[in-house]
């Protein structure tokens, strides 16, 4: 993967701010976007902006765009069919919508499992649905030494009253990756469904819903180099079996019965372009199947991001005044994304991000909606953490500039 060629495709990475090349280490909050995505969105809005179902060329274009987008996402997730791909405003809205439908028949005595590793879009949605039905909610903690999920606690909570497990594939705060395949296998043994939040995982590693055997999986295109569009994959029997809240005239077939209102067609055009951008990183021939390209592309992404993680953790060990929450071992880089949660001795997270922001280094501070995690780690009332999040377009040189800034701050 030619990193210079990759970076040239992102207008944001090529700009100068105050005479300085900015450094974007805010990827977990939303990635930067390549020109191909911008062009696809602009072209759709400029020439074909129309709703579905009209007897004219631009509406025909929108119909074909939606078909193309479902195929692109099916390739991205390795879904069995395009009918199992649902679009929405964002992952949070979709999670609340699905929670209401899935919980319709829950009752007192039923149980739901959520986790402290999750963004609260995959917690509050299910907690509130359970409260409406009188069901019991159990919360799984993380192992504080490395911020991985306490799988023993999760498996101990599973029983034949468990209706659903809501779990993140990777923490949007610490980068820790969860063993979703194992969780799905254990949950299915007691008849429970599994709703996977793959929002943070999606830009870093290849997704395969068939290999995971998960019941639902959600992601958001703005985390993998696209616009703000939410996506949910569901097993066919669930998409057909559960009854969603919907506008009555909408066709009662999948996936339309799950899609509320007019979609962001320009955003969906951007989703196709974003997936094709990732596939292009494989440098394979144009006639190679998209899924094959994605397999190779994510292998290259993982290899580069592993180097970034190794360099970051090696440099971080030089700073005794900085605490890392998450996996620190260089032998366990396969178990994390290049996302790092930090606190600084005697310096509030907001002060750190403001100091870096003045140098046009973009990082986030706070809790990132991972409320349970920050409460368990004891940082919720201390401003949360500083989050450094690398993407495949980041460089070793950028990380060295960051650590130079750390040295200046701590001096």
Same domain, 265 and 313: no
Q: Is 283 among the domain residues? A: no
Q: Is 282 among the domain residues? A: no
| Boundary of a domain, candidates 277, 311, 334 | 277
Percent of the chain beyond pLDDT 90?
100
Same domain, 106 and 25: no
| Mean confidence (pLDDT) of the chain | 98
Q: Is 231 among the domain residues? A: yes
Q: Is 284 among the domain residues? A: no
Are residues 28 and 339 in contact, defined by beta-carbon separation less than 8 angstroms? yes
Same domain, 236 and 109: yes
Same domain, 394 and 266: no
| Boundary of a domain, candidates 277, 301, 327 | 277
Tell me: the pLDDT tens digits for 204-213? 999 999 999 9
Give the CA distances from residue 350 to residues 49, 297, 342, 359, in Å, rounded to whole numbers and listed in that order.
Answer: 42, 35, 12, 14
Same domain, 201 and 323: no
Mean local confidence (pLDDT), 363-387 = 98
Nearest 5°: CA angle at 377, between 374 and 381?
55
Q: Report how far residue 40's alpha carbon sits from residue 222's, in angstroms, rounded to the nearest whole number.
A: 15
Which spans in 32-56 are helix H? 35-47
Cβ-proximal residues to 105 (8 Å cutoff; 6+ apart), any chain: none
Give the CA distances from residue 69 to residues 137, 276, 329, 363, in Å, rounded to whole numbers and listed in that order.
Answer: 36, 11, 39, 31
Same domain, 23 and 104: no
pLDDT confidence of residue 81:
98
Same domain, 26 and 55: no
What are the tokens at 375?
A: 């409460």
Give the CA distances from residue 238 to residues 212, 214, 245, 323, in Å, rounded to whole numbers and listed in that order.
Answer: 16, 11, 14, 43
CATH number at residue 354: 3.90.1150.10
Are residues 254 and 239 in contact, defined by beta-carbon separation less than 8 angstroms? yes
> For residue 305, what pLDDT band results from cuts at 50, 70 and 90?
very high
Q: Report how far residue 182's alpha carbon sits from residue 177's, in angstroms, rounded to the nearest whole number.
A: 12
Residue 380 carries which DSSP code? G
Same domain, 62 and 88: yes
pLDDT confidence of residue 191:
98
Q: Please tell me the total number of residues recorded for the chain in this structure.
A: 411
How many domains are contained in the chain?
2
Same domain, 54 and 134: yes
Mean local confidence (pLDDT), 264-290 = 98
Closest CA to 116 of 342, 344, 378, 313: 378
**How many alpha carbons fall within 13 Å on the CB side of residue 397?**
5
Same domain, 28 and 43: no
Same domain, 143 and 48: yes
Name the helix (H) or strand (E) containing 324.
strand 322-325
Mean local confidence (pLDDT), 351-361 = 98
What are the tokens at 37?
A: 């995505």
Name the helix (H) or strand (E) containing 2.
none
pLDDT confidence of residue 339:
98
The number of beta carbons lying within 10 Å of the beta carbon of residue 149 is 24
3-state secondary structure of 61: helix
Cβ-based burial of 57 (10 A; exposed 0-12, middle 13-18, buried ≥19): exposed
Q: Is 305 among the domain residues? A: yes
Same domain, 132 and 28: no
Residue 164 carries which DSSP code? E
pLDDT confidence of residue 272:
98
CATH number at residue 49: 3.40.640.10
Cβ contacts of 398-402, under 8 Å, gap ≥ 24: 398/23, 398/25, 399/308, 399/311, 399/312, 399/315, 400/315, 401/23, 401/361, 402/23, 402/25, 402/356, 402/361
| Boundary of a domain, candidates 277, 306, 328 | 277
pLDDT confidence of residue 231:
98
3-state secondary structure of 33: coil
Q: Is 193 among the domain residues? A: yes
> For residue 237, what pLDDT band results from cuts at 50, 70 and 90?
very high
The number of beta carbons lying within 10 Å of the beta carbon of residue 66 is 22
pLDDT confidence of residue 397:
98
Containing structural domain, residue 373: 3-33+290-410
> For residue 376, what pLDDT band results from cuts at 50, 70 and 90?
very high
Mean local confidence (pLDDT), 273-285 = 98
> For residue 60, what pLDDT band results from cuts at 50, 70 and 90?
very high
Q: Is 400 among the domain residues? A: yes
Q: Is 285 among the domain residues? A: no
> For residue 355, what pLDDT band results from cuts at 50, 70 and 90?
very high
Mean local confidence (pLDDT), 99-122 = 98
Are residues 238 and 215 in contact, defined by beta-carbon separation less than 8 angstroms? yes
């Amino acid at each position: 993967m030619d990193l210079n060629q990759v970076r040239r495709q992102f207008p944001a990475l090529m700009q100068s701010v105050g005479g300085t090349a900015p450094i974007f280490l805010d990827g977990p909050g939303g990635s930067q976007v390549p020109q191909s995505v911008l062009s696809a969105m602009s072209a759709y809005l400029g020439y074909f902006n129309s709703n579905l179902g009209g007897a004219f060329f631009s509406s025909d274009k929108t119909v074909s765009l939606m078909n193309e987008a479902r195929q692109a996402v099916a390739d991205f997730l390795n879904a069995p069919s395009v009918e199992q791909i649902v679009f929405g405003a964002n992952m949070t809205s979709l999670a609340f919508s699905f929670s209401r439908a899935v919980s319709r028949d829950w009752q007192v005595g039923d149980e739901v499992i959520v986790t402290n590793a999750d963004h609260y879009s995959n917690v509050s949605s299910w907690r509130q649905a359970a409260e409406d039905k009188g069901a019991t909610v159990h919360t799984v903690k993380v192992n504080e030494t490395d911020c991985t999920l306490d799988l023993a606690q999760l498996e101990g909570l599973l029983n034949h009253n468990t209706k659903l497990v809501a779990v993140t594939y990777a923490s949007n705060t610490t980068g820790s990756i969860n063993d979703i395949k194992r969780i799905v296998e254990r949950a299915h043994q007691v008849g429970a469904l599994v709703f996977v939040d793959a929002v943070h995982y999606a830009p870093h590693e290849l997704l395969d819903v068939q290999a995971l055997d998960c019941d639902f999986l959600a992601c958001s295109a703005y985390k993998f180099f696209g616009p703000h569009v939410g996506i949910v994959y569901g097993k066919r029997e669930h998409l057909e079996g559960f009854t969603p809240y919907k506008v009555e005239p909408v066709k009662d077939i999948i996936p339309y019965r799950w899609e509320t209102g007019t979609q962001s067609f320009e955003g969906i055009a951007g989703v196709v372009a974003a997936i094709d951008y990732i596939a292009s990183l494989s440098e394979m021939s144009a006639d190679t199947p998209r899924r094959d390209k994605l397999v190779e592309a994510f292998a290259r992404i993982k290899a580069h991001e592993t180097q970034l993680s190794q360099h970051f953790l090696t440099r971080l060990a030089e700073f005794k005044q900085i605490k890392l929450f998450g996996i620190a071992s260089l032998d366990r880089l396969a178990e994390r994304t290049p996302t790092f949660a930090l606190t600084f001795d005697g310096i509030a997270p907001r002060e750190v991000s403001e100091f870096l922001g003045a140098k046009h280094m973009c990082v986030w501070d706070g809790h990132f909606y991972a409320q349970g995690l920050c409460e368990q780690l004891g940082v919720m009332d201390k401003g949360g953490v500083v989050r450094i999040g690398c993407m495949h377009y980041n460089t070793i040189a950028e990380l060295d500039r960051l650590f130079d800034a750390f040295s200046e701050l701590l001096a």
